[in-house]
């Protein structure tokens, strides 16, 4: 079975689903400019769990170094798009 790369919109929708399940934020306020630490009020443990969920959702591994660079949901989308 061939797997086609996801579109940017598909990646964002999956990430949005993760965010709504993990953080207390109105779904209509979720966009690519949302900052993970500041806007989602995520501490280091919450960020680590979010990264683990990204890895599971997109069947990829994100190094600690790369995870530190993911500061917004848009950056998360960019990372997934570049590594799928």
**Residue matched to tokens 């989602």:** 40
Q: How much is the pLDDT for 58? A: 96
Catalytic residues: 43
∠60-65-67 over CA atoms, to 5°?
55
- Options 1.10.1200.10, 1.20.120.1200, 3.20.20.480, 1.25.40.10; CATH for 8-82 is 1.10.1200.10
φ and ψ at 21, to 5 degrees?
A: -80, -25
The candidate with the shortest Cα–Cα distance to 29, out of 18, 42, 20, is 20
Q: Which two tokens stand for residue 3?
A: 């797997």
φ and ψ at 72, to 5 degrees?
A: -130, 165
- Cα–Cα distance for residue pair 52/47, rounded to 1 Å: 9
Q: How much is the pLDDT for 7? A: 96
Q: How much is the pLDDT for 4? A: 74
Q: How much is the pLDDT for 57? A: 96
Q: How much is the pLDDT for 3? A: 62
Per-residue pLDDT of the chain (84 residues; tens, 9 = 90+): 556 799 999 999 999 999 999 998 999 999 999 999 999 999 999 999 999 999 999 999 999 999 999 999 999 999 999 998
């Amino acid at each position: 079975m061939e797997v086609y790369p996801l579109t940017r919109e598909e990646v964002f929708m999956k990430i949005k689903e993760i965010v709504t399940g993990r953080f207390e934020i109105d779904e209509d306020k979720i966009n690519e400019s949302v900052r993970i630490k500041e806007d989602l009020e995520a501490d280091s443990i919450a960020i680590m769990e979010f990264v683990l969920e990204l890895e599971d959702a997109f069947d990829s591994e994100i190094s600690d170094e790369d995870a530190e660079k993911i500061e917004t949901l848009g950056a998360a989308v960019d990372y997934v798009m570049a590594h799928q």
